[in-house]
Amino acid sequence: MNQEALAAWFESGIVHNWMVELYWMFPLMETFHFVGLCVLFGSLLVVDGRVLGIGKFINMNEAMKFIPLAIGAFAINLLSGFSFLTADPNAYLGNIGFQWKIGLIAVAGINALWFWFGEHKELCQLADGADAPFRAKVIALLSVILWVIIIVLGRLIPYTDF
């Protein structure tokens, strides 16, 4: 599917009409997007902070409860992000900042899967105050760095429309 067809698809739905016709929809969705990113990043800080050793005495098994919270926040941002796309798809699809953002979200997703399937079980046994394995620390550090870059790129989208 080329960009034109994809853009036409985004514009064909009812959400596009809402976003364009109701003046409060865009700010409302933006607000959800901002709240969602704070919850997502905050949950990651608890999990990754524990793994990295910043909060060594955070119980690892309990910290895992923040993962569903992160997924929920991500879902809010996926939906609100989708609504921005329907409003003006061409402003996003051809935008280099947006393209990198989506690419890095995919990388962060793979990183999260690696964490879940590779490290999760072993980490749950981690005693309070104990050091996490080096591999897990690499994943946690990558996760924080990736999400910081994703937030930055998201904010830069209006300025990377070359």
Partner 1 sequence: MDQLLLAYENGAVGLFIRESIWGYPIVLASHAVGMATVLGVAWMLCLRVLGFAKGISITSLDKLFIVGWAGFLLNLISGIVLFAGSASVYFYQWTFQLKLGAIILGGILLKFVMNEVRANGSKQKLLAALCAFCWLVGVVTGRLMAYVTA
Instruction: Please report, as ranges, the residues that interact with partner 1 according to CB under 8 A.
Output: 27, 30-31, 34-35, 37-46, 49, 54-59, 61-63, 65-66, 69, 128, 147-148, 151-152, 154-156, 158-159
The number of angstroms, rounded, from the C-alpha of 93 to the middle of its chain's C-alpha atoms is 18
Q: Cβ of residue 12: shortest distance to partner 1, in angstroms? A: 27
The owner of tokens 């399937």 is: 117
Residue among 2 and 162 whose Cβ is closer to partner 1 = 162
Q: Closer to partner 1 by CB, 65 or 135: give it.
A: 65
Q: Is the distance from CB of 76 to CB of 43 less than 8 angstroms? A: no
Q: Give me 98's structure tokens.
A: 């947006």
CA 130, chain centre distance (Å): 28
CB-nearer residue toward partner 1: 122 or 128: 128
Q: Find the shortest distance in angstroms from Cβ 63 to partner 1.
A: 6
Q: How far apart are CA 129 and CA 114, in angstroms?
A: 23
For residue 58, the minimal CB distance to partner 1 (Å) is: 5
Quick one: which H or E segment has residue 25?
Answer: helix 25-52
Report the candidate in 142, 143, 120, 145 with the shortest Cα–Cα distance to residue 133.
120
Report the nearest approach of partner 1 to the CB of residue 129 (Å).
9
Q: Closest CB to partner 1 among 78 and 148?
A: 148
